[in-house]
Amino acid sequence: MVAWDLTTGQRRQATTAPLGVETAAIEPDGHGLWWFDAAPGGQGRWLRAPFEGGHPRPALDGVPAGRMHGLAFDPRSGLAAVGVGVADHSRYYLGRPGERARLVAEEPGYAAVVGLAPGGRLLATAGRPAGPAAVRLWSPASGVLVDAIPGAAGDGEGGAVWALGFRPDLTTARPELLLVLERAGRYTLACWRQGEGIRTHGPGSALDFATEITACWYGPGRTVLVQQDRAGRSRLLRADLDRGTTTVLPTPEGTIIDFSCAPDRTVHCLWSRDGEPPRPLICHPESPESSESAEHPEPPERPDHSGHSGRSTTASRGTAPGGTTGPGRRELWTHRPYGQIHSFVATPPGRRAGHRPWPTVFLVHGGPHTHDRDAYDARTEALLQAGFAVVRTNYRGSTGYGPRWRDDFGHRVGLAQLEDLAAVRGHLIDAGVSEPGRTGLCGYSWGGYLTLLAMGVQPRLWDVGLAVAPVADYTAAYRATTPALREVDDRLFGGTPEQVPHRYRAACPMTYVDRVRGPLFLAASADDEKCPAEQIERYLAALRRRDVPHRVRWLGGGHDVGRAPAGHAAAWAAMVRYADDTLRTSPRTADRRNSGRTGSHHPVHHTEERSIP
């Protein structure tokens, strides 16, 4: 973690954790830095140090080690609240930074701290958004549950509610909590106030959005900043909750990775687009025409070879890649009866640019409720330099396309997503971008799960599978994973493995292991709490018994294998070489649509390696 003083321009490295830091915050008065110091398995505790530098100490005394379940500050009272996952329970603690905290409440399952009302009057925690208690309001003084907001408050059965934080300048006895409701297939801004319940502007207002949003309070009054994700890109808006109006802030086309409001009411964004590494931007919401880079001027538009602007949002829905995001970067919309599948396609630059069709790797995102974006991806750039075409597909289950695309696949977990990937593969073959016999999959976490599942369900379509930290045995992973992920699976499948065993069996890579031909490269961590090693080892044993060509590398760093950078970099380089060995040969005689094996060769049968972080 780096501490950056904007007044002096001074930057310093604030932490030295060997596996890095994933979650950090600055105290509202700017005096202290907080970060969650986690072991490879995800267990840890909050530490604190002065912003200017100093020895780190426990941020709150008396809080046990556990999983990180949220953090909230109240500038008025100087209090901080943290959530900690201990065993299968969520505990909430309250105290002043550096002092002893007290336990406010405890409940079974997963929930996270999302807000602390001014004066420390109420504590807000969030559970499953569609659950019976999506948001709970607690009295920190007594530990009593004051109110609970069900997911059905969004839209009856099938609705959802997300809590985003208390209005910081409201000092009355009735705190106001910012919410997002899912209702009628849309997302709307709303507020909850103690004694009054939920207030909205109603369907059809400017505060209704067709795709996913997040928001935060902005300055005094009932104004908020909204980030909306739409078709792999994002935009910022200023919303007036009293008038029900919004104003779009002028940010460059691409992805706002994160944003934060400074005390002077400027908004600091981390921005990127495909092929361009992230960089900071400063926005001035009160002067909408003013948007400037914090470090560099906005780069000029980059024309592609057809003369289109590098910022075009238009995408063809025909048989060839459409809209552009720069040279060799295209968008593909693949028509299916249930909707349009959106993909970002990048093809090799330089001398390799004319050597189509190219060996192709699908980078399959995890989640599933996230999405690939018009943003820089180091894996994409490495594969392009190695001569691969790279495809990033937002299959059903992805965010950024509305609730129907995210949820409406009938609990056919994994299988619906594979149908989308197969359809895009066929589209690219028809367009001459890819060819049978030289198409592979690469995924991390849930993307790794889809990779393993595809190698068994669709063995003739995919010629190599590269899976990092995957789910290999869904039922076994469910029983051993974290409470938060069990709740995700409950919603995906419509129940537990005991309640709907046929759905878990149909979605499980182990079910199809007899059909796997390989070759496969698996990278995993023995410390992984989310996708435990035992279920991966069981899958690997099945591959060995069936003599399937594969390679495995064990890494440090837990589920977030990138926290052990040396081992992860070596594993990534080995995966690229493995894919190159398999996909480099061109199967010119292969069937143009259905073949998946002609021309492939497997230089390594099965090996196992371990990297020490």
pLDDT single digits (tens) 353-368: 667 899 999 999 998 9
Q: Fill in the amino acid letter for 427.
A: H
How far is 520 from 459, CA to CA, in rounded Å? 12
216's tokens: 């935060």
The structural domain count of the chain equals: 2
Mean pLDDT of 388-401: 96
- pLDDT score of 289: 55
266, 299, 332 - which closes a domain: 299
Q: Fill in the amino acid letter for 573.
A: A
Same domain, 489 and 387: yes
How far is 93 from 135, CA to CA, in rounded Å? 17
Mean pLDDT of 418-444: 96
299, 333, 348 - which closes a domain: 299
How far is 563 from 265, CA to CA, in rounded Å? 34
Per-residue pLDDT band at 471 (split at 50, 70, 90): very high
Please say if the pLDDT value at position 191 is more than 60: yes
Same domain, 285 and 371: no
Give the domain CATH number at 400: 3.40.50.1820
Same domain, 477 and 578: yes
Please say if the pLDDT value at position 522 is more than 50: yes
Same domain, 502 and 576: yes
Question: Which of 224-228, 265-269, 327-331, 583-587 shows the highest mean pLDDT?
Answer: 224-228
Same domain, 280 and 370: no
- pLDDT score of 612: 45
Q: Is residue 517 part of a domain?
A: yes
Cα–Cα nearest to 138, from 202, 97, 92: 92
Mean pLDDT of 96-112: 94
Per-residue pLDDT band at 590 (split at 50, 70, 90): very low
Strand segments, DSSP code E, in 482-532 are: 520-525
Please say if the pLDDT value at position 139 is more than 90: yes
Please say if the pLDDT value at position 473 is more than 60: yes
pLDDT tens for 62-98 read 999 999 999 999 999 999 999 999 988 999 999 999 9
Q: Is residue 232 part of a domain?
A: yes
Same domain, 472 and 582: yes
Please say if the pLDDT value at position 183 is more than 90: no
Q: Can you say whether the dihedral through the CA atoms of 53, 56, 62, 67 is positive or negative?
A: positive
Q: Is residue 106 part of a domain?
A: no
- pLDDT score of 401: 95
Please say if the pLDDT value at position 312 is more than 60: no
CA atoms within 13 A on the CB side of 20: 13
309's tokens: 């602007």
Please say if the pLDDT value at position 294 is more than 90: no
Q: Is residue 316 part of a domain?
A: no
How far is 427 from 419, CA to CA, in rounded Å? 12
Mean pLDDT of 541-552: 95
Q: Are the CB atoms for 448 and 468 separated by under 8 Å?
A: yes
Which of 403-412, 440-449, 475-484, 601-610 has the least mean pLDDT? 601-610
Mean pLDDT of 105-120: 93
Question: Which of 20-29, 102-111, 287-296 shows the highest mean pLDDT?
Answer: 102-111
Which of 196-200, 255-259, 309-313, 538-542 has the least mean pLDDT? 309-313
Same domain, 268 and 385: no
Mean pLDDT of 1-16: 88
Same domain, 254 and 338: no
Q: Is residue 1 part of a domain?
A: no
Strand segments, DSSP code E, in 386-436 are: 389-394
Q: Is residue 80 part of a domain?
A: no
184's tokens: 């009628």
Mean pLDDT of 527-542: 90
Which of 118-127, 433-442, 568-577 has the least mean pLDDT? 568-577
Same domain, 369 and 443: yes
Q: Is residue 263 part of a domain?
A: yes
Mean pLDDT of 429-457: 96
Which tops the pLDDT comparison, 170 or 231? 231
265, 299, 333 - which closes a domain: 299
Same domain, 276 and 344: no
Summary mean pLDDT of the chain: 85
Q: Fill in the amino acid letter for 204.
A: G
Q: Is 288 helix (H, G, I), strand (E, B) or coil?
A: coil
Please say if the pLDDT value at position 58 is more than 60: yes
Same domain, 252 and 346: no
- Residue numbers of the domain that contains 295: 201-299
Same domain, 357 and 418: yes
455's tokens: 């190698």
Question: Which of 237-246, 287-296, 597-606 shows the highest mean pLDDT?
Answer: 237-246
How far is 86 from 596, CA to CA, in rounded Å? 47
Name residues whose C-beta falls within 8 Å of residue 200's C-beta, 6 or more positions apart in sequence.
181, 188, 189, 190, 191, 207
Q: Are the CB atoms for 390 and 330 separated by under 8 Å?
A: no
Which of 64-78, 169-183, 323-337 has the least mean pLDDT? 323-337
Mean pLDDT of 392-414: 93
Q: Is residue 171 part of a domain?
A: no
pLDDT tens for 479-499 read 988 888 888 899 899 999 999
Please say if the pLDDT value at position 591 is more than 70: no
Percent of the chain with pLDDT over 90: 63
